[in-house]
Structure formats: C-alpha cells, structure tokens
Amino acid sequence: MEFSAKQIAELLNGKIIGDSDIKVSTVSKIEEGFAGSLSFLSNPKYIQYLYTTKSSIVLINNSFVPEKEVQSTLIKVEDAYHAFASLLEIYNQQKSHKEGISGDSIIEDSAKIGEHVYIGANSYIGANSLIGDQTKIYPNTYIGDNVKIGNKVIIFSGANIYSDCIIKDGCTLHSGVVVGSDGFGFAPQNASEFKKVPQIGNVIIEESVEIGANTTIDRATLGSTIIRKGVKLDNLIQVAHNVEIGENTVIAAQTGIAGSTKIGKNCMIGGQVAIAGHITIADNVKAGAKAGIAQSVKKEGVILQGIPAIELRNFWRSAAVFKLLPDMKHQIDNLERIIGKEKGE
C-alpha cells in the first residue's frame, strides 16, 4: 500500500517541500529512516537526524526552518506529532480492512449480521445475537446467545463474549478478552464449603471503549456491570461483578477492581492498583502504581499513592520518615543501652 507525498499532504492539509510524486509504503523513526518510509520530527532532540535520515518523506512543523539542506521530501503541517498520529490511524484502518464471512465460522440461524461485516474462521455467533455494520470479528472468537454488538466494533482473535452482553459502537476488544464471565459470588455454608450464587446479570460496554488483551469483565450478579463511553482498559485487568467505570477513565495493566465499586469520570489509575469492593471513587481522581484503595474517595481530583492509599503530598511526607526509620531504630537501641547501664541493668 503506497501513498505519494501529494496524497499525504492533501490528507493532512500540508505543504510539500521537495518531490510531490515520491511514494512511501511504511513508517519509521527518523533516526532509523530508510527509502520508502515516512517519519516525523516534532521533538528538538531529534533535529540532527533530519539531515542524515534516509526516510523518503518527513513531516515537520510549519514553524520549523531547516538550517541546511535536507535530502528527504518535507511536508509542513501545523503539528507534526498529531499529523503523524492521524496518518497512522488512516494507515491502520486501510491495512486492517477486512470483509466477508468465513465458511469455517458457525452462525446460528436466529442471529442477525449487519452489512460489510468480517467474521473470521472458527468463530461462533450464538442464537438471537446481533452484529452491527462494519464490525470485524477475528478468528476463533466466541459470541454467546442474545449478545448485541454495535457498528464498527473490532474483536480480535480468541475473545469470548458471554450471553446477554452488550457492546456498543466503535469499541475494540483485543485478543483474550473475556466479557460476561461469572462474578466471584460464593455464599459460605459452613467452615469448609461455599455455595455458588448464580450470576444472572450482564455487561454493558458503551461507545468507543478499548479493552486490552486478556482483560476480564465479570457479569453482574443482578443488573449490569457497566463500562462507560470512552473508557480505555490496558491488558490483564480484572473488573468484578456490578462495577461501574465512568466515562473516559483510563486504567493501566494488572489493576484489580472488586465487586460493586463505582469509579468516576476522567480518572487515571496506574498499574497494579488494588481497589476494594463496594466503594465509590470521585471524578478526576489519579492513583499511582500499586496503590491500594480500601475506602471511598469523595474528593474530586486528588492524587493517591501507597498502601493504604493516601493523598500524594502526605505519601511523600510519610516516605521521608520511612527512610529515617533504620537510623531512628539505631538511635533508640543506643538510648536503651545507655539507660540500661545507668540503671545498672
């Protein structure tokens, strides 16, 4: 798949300096550029590579003026970094364009399939399920009964969507994602036995959510586990039953959220954060890596760190004391010896 400098400039509303007919078929870092690739320059640290790169085309900011001759064709844009990101998105959409239903897939007669859909080999679509227009379901994917999947959804290979779940428009689920598995509900019967509590709810994933590889989202015991619009979940995250995650919240890998917790809008949760069940976290809260959030966070916009999690400023004050503990222990031991001698012990 090739693009000429002229085509790229038209897409990005840019100005060409050099050969408008030169073509590229891939992208590269500016310091590792080669013929046929496109790079970008936005960070001043990399200016030196502009004069040595072998990239055929380089995107640069309108405000940048080269100090010496450049071999590559330049395309000037308002913001080279954002222009490059936009170009990558267009490139990725065209590269991953697929359509058609594999003869190796199994689709129940009562399922409804939209237009321009891709369903890969060995995939299963359950009874009464609905697949929206332009959705892509990659090979070896399981879609249970009564599942509703919206338009332009991408579900990569090996994902499992259990019965009755809802995935709305524009979502992306990466390989190994499990949506709608049973919540962890067991009622103790005696000292050594537990009785499983049936989990009869579902999972609702709203528009433009992206879920990383091997993340699991449990169905509700009753009602719904809800992932609101625009949420981004990293790989290897556990979302328990009846959790609600607010709009545009982002959560990094290996975080675990216990049941019935509600997380607000626009939160940022770091890696390996542990969040207890049945609590509420306010909007715009940030939690640093490995924080342990054991109780509700009512104040919006706070930054948390530590186990148990406390506000960042208090955490750093505490950390300053932690560092002194060995010396303080040594001083206390010396004082005890001196006191002991004075008492004749």
Point out which residues pair with 40 in neighbouring strands.
Answer: 59
Please state at what angle helix 80-95 crosses helix 5-12, rounded to 10 degrees: 110
Whether the ω angle into residue 308 lies within 30 degrees of 0, i.e. cis, is yes
Task: Evaluate whether 234 touches 252 at the Cβ level (below 8 Å).
Answer: yes
241 annotated active-site: yes
Close Cβ partners of 125 (under 8 Å, ≥ 6 residues apart): 105, 106, 107, 108, 111, 113, 119, 131, 137, 143
Sheet of 154-155, strand order: 100-101, 118-119, 136-137, 154-155, 172-173, 210-211, 232-233, 250-251, 268-269, 286-287, 303-305, 310-311
Please identify which of the residues 82, 116, 241, 278 carries the catalytic annotation. 241
Task: Report the alpha-carbon distance of residue 8 to residue 16 in Å, rounded.
Answer: 9
Task: Report the alpha-carbon distance of residue 269 to residue 290 in Å, rounded.
Answer: 10
Task: Report the alpha-carbon distance of residue 67 to residue 147 in Å, rounded.
Answer: 59
Token pair, residue 178, equals: 């499990």
Q: Helix, strand or coil for residue 11?
A: helix
Q: State the catalytic residues.
A: 241
